[in-house]
Amino acid sequence: MQSIPLHRMTDQGWFRPSPWLYLCLIFLGRTWLLFVGAAASREAGADLLALFYPNKLSFYCGLAIGTPALCLLWLQGLRHRFAWVGKIWRWGFSAIIVTLLLDLALQLQQLFLHNGRFVAGPAAVLLLSLWALWYLLKSRSSRLVFAHKGHLFDDKNS
């Protein structure tokens, strides 16, 4: 077994998420980011949403798919403070994989709606989704971040 570099640990003894893991979580929450951007632009908000999500059902599915990723981003900062967050955190890796698979299914459905026609935007998103899934499945550090023993110093007070 390889030793774990100390720079990958927080002061509380938890494994620090890599920047790539953060990017994967932000990528999964992209519909929420678009929604916030559309809400901030008021007049052009509906046009912006229609540009990226012409089908409202796809938009709502995108919001549902992005919710676990945004919750994990929020919980990441709280996992060393509360024991209950650590228990939820352990399911995070599985949740990310499932939501990425759901996201891929949604994108494949969109591909079928375009009758298999190549469209650059959805193709780029599909490529990024496949990369994110590959990264998460191959990344040892991402698994360690969500591991059951994600905390090296077991104290009875947490």
Q: 3-state class of 151 per DSSP?
A: strand
Site of tokens 């994108």: 107
The tens digit of pLDDT for each residue in 23-55 reads: 999 999 999 999 998 888 878 888 888 888 878
- DSSP for 9-77 reads B-TTSBBPPPHHHHHHHHHHTHHHHHHHHHHHTGGGHHHHHHHH-SSHHHHHHHHHHHHHHHHHHHHHT
For the chain, the structural domain boundaries read 16-145
The tens digit of pLDDT for each residue in 128-146 reads: 999 999 999 998 888 888 8
Cα gap 54→44, rounded to integer Å:
15
Cα gap 144→158, rounded to integer Å:
19
Cβ atoms 8, 15 nearer than 8 A: yes
How much is the pLDDT for 7?
62
